[in-house]
A = this chain, B = another copy of it.
Amino acid sequence: MLSCPDRKGIVAEVSGLLARQGANVTAAAQFSDPALRHFFVRYEVETAAGEASAESLERGLAEGLSDLLSQPDAQLTVRRADHRPRVALLASKASHCLVEVLQRWRTGELPCDIVCVVANHPHIEEFAGWFKVPFHHVPFPPGDKAASFDRVEALLKEYAIDVTVLARFMQIIPDAFAEAHVGRMINIHHSFLPSFIGARPYEQAHARGVKLVGATCHYVTPELDEGPIIDQEVVRISHRDTPADLRRKGRICEREALARGLRLHLEDRVFVHGNRTVVFD
Most chain B beta carbons < 10 A, residue from A15, A208, A229:
A15
* Shortest CB distance A193–B (Å): 7
Q: Assess whether A147 is interfacial by the CB under 8 Å rule.
A: no
B195 touching A194, Cβ below 8 Å: yes
Question: Which residues A16-46 have CB closer than 8 A to chain B?
Answer: 16, 18-19, 24-35
The answer to whether A103 and B107 touch across the interface, beta carbons within 8 angstroms, is no
Partner of A192, one of B99, B212, B238: B212
| Cα–Cα distance between A228 and B239 once the two chains are bound (Å) | 12
Q: Which of B24, B96, B232, B239 contacts A212 (CB 8 A)?
A: B232
How far in angstroms is the closest Cβ of chain B from A8? 4
| A240: interface (CB < 8 Å) | yes
B95 near A107 with CB under 8 A, answer: yes
Which residues of chain B are near A230, meaning CB under 8 Å? Answer: 211
A254 within 8 A of B: no
Distance from A1 Cβ to chain B, minimum over Cβ atoms (Å): 14
Structural contact, B234 and A234, CB atoms closer than 8 A: yes
Q: Is B234 touching A31 in the complex (CB atoms < 8 A)? A: no
Q: Which of A49-65 contact B (CB under 8 A)?
A: none
A window 182-225: CB within 8 A of B: 192-196, 207-212, 214
* 8 chain-A/chain-B pairs, Cβ below 8 angstroms: A11-B18, A12-B16, A12-B25, A27-B31, A33-B239, A208-B275, A211-B230, A252-B256
